[in-house]
Structure 1
């Protein structure tokens, strides 16, 4: 049996007479990626909870541009995964030391120099808890190698859990502080609960806190705080102006009283 070959397409490259094509190139990753499957989040509270994390991190990191944060976005990390559509993406994630100014419909690892999320948060529900604690956690640990992973059910204030990646031993569960918060080393923030009303819904929300325990505000909260501070400064300036005016009036009254006494004594104060 003989095998015909094209001598212009192959070359002898090893002593073992292994023939390979000169112009062989690795297959290109798929380009027909889907970024929206039309499936909504589990509830309106889940949607708000996701936006709270995204917007507060953007506010807390407002002085830097080398990070990206997104939510409910597809993450593509391999050609086979993209072809099979077998993975969608986390509810919240953040990637540090990347150009945050780029517009992205999703996170495509091979277009981001191989970068995976540094932090991931999954907002659980009873129907997703098993997956978030099992298969997804395994992917984030073994494939993504994401340093910090957290889960939280917006309807269960006691559900917060988190892990940090030990290079030699995989995910290690984080221990809460006295407030029940978990430290996110990659972001330099605590993750903890906060009860209040956001977007007309009152709940116990997952929020960021800085190292000193101060709540990382949403943009509208920061704007309101700045407005309140500006109003307080304006009121303080007005009070100072009123105090200065009162002092000037008191000094004028004292001068007038002294002039009156001098005139009673037959002394013209204008000639002094």
Structure 2
């Protein structure tokens, strides 16, 4: 079955004849993550954001997805694929890629790059420059999944300045309203009160444990009630008359 044809957006009146905008649903063009550790970390960040903003419909969180930002609106130039990024104030829906000129010029509010030997220099250099000068992304984080080093930067007068960690090593994200910090060798989100932002699987396990505790309490109460009835009956007292 052929793909449905995507309608072209309206062109400006002074647009050159014969020129067409790229379709608004370009596919992402990013290579796979370098390792299971990198892929797992990316998924943790995406799921954490989705859990934290679960009650909101005005955000988009994803990872390893191409951001097309060419001022000439061309797919073949000016594109990057952050390991994780979050955009606030946009429609919460699935996308094949993030195309800036089809998103009212919106760029990510937060970007996280997961460092590796092959990407660390670019993440600390070229990407940092692009994210500050072109994207103007308010917050940028670097996390090394091997050494667990975490760095954060916020945009001040068009340049990134380092975020200062709390005593526990966590960094506060004003954009997301959470702390970022390492736990069990993973970069995780923490609520303002310090509570871990749970992933869906962790929420399900927590609910399972809560239900199990309730079941055990109810069973213990039934057993205690049964023992009490037996004592009363042994004393010749009908418990149903009490």
Shared topology, TM-score over 0.5? yes
| 2:25–2:95 contact (8 Å) kept in structure 1 | no
Return 32-41 or 108-117, whichever deviates more: 32-41
SS at match of 1:255: coil
CA distance, structure 2, for counterparts of residue 115 and residue 108 of structure 1: 9
Does residue 209 (structure 1) correspond to residue 162 (structure 2)? The answer is no
TM-superposed CA distance for 1:28, in Å, is: 5.5
SS at match of 2:106: coil
Which of 164, 171, 181 is the equivalent residue of 2:154? 164
1:101-250 to structure 2, matched below 5 A, reads 102-157=93-148, 159-166=149-156, 168=157, 170-195=159-184, 204-250=185-231
CA distance, structure 1, for counterparts of residue 25 and residue 80 of structure 2: 11
Distance 1:61 1:38, change over 3 A: closer
Which of 14, 27, 37 is the equivalent residue of 1:24? 14
| 2:110–2:137 contact (8 Å) kept in structure 1 | yes
Does residue 53 (structure 1) correspond to residue 45 (structure 2)? The answer is yes
CA RMSD of aligned residues (A): 2.3
1:72-111 to structure 2, matched below 5 A, reads 72-80=64-72, 82-100=74-92, 102-111=93-102
Consecutive unaligned residues of structure 2, counting only runs of 5 or more, are: 1-12
How many residues align structurally?
A: 224
Distance 1:232 1:155, change over 3 A: same
| 2:178–2:191 contact (8 Å) kept in structure 1 | yes
TM-superposed CA distance for 1:149, in Å, is: 0.7
TM-score under structure 1 normalisation?
0.75
CA distance, structure 2, for counterparts of residue 185 and residue 32 of structure 1: 31
| 1:30–1:79 contact (8 Å) kept in structure 2 | no
TM-superposed CA distance for 1:121, in Å, is: 0.2
SS at match of 1:63: coil
| 2:29–2:65 contact (8 Å) kept in structure 1 | no
Distance 1:171 1:44, change over 3 A: same
TM-score under structure 2 normalisation?
0.84
Partner of 1:253: 234
Distance 1:256 1:34, change over 3 A: closer
CA distance, structure 2, for counterparts of residue 183 and residue 115 of structure 1: 23
| 1:73–1:106 contact (8 Å) kept in structure 2 | yes
1:30-85 deviation per Cα after TM superposition (whole angstroms, max 9, x unaligned): 33985344622222211111111111221222222221101000001224473543
CA distance, structure 2, for counterparts of residue 103 and residue 256 of structure 1: 67
Distance 1:32 1:54, change over 3 A: closer
Distance 1:67 1:32, change over 3 A: closer
| 2:63–2:82 contact (8 Å) kept in structure 1 | yes
Structure of greater Rg = 1
| 1:29–1:79 contact (8 Å) kept in structure 2 | no
SS at match of 1:156: coil
Return 182-191 or 243-252, whichever deviates more: 243-252
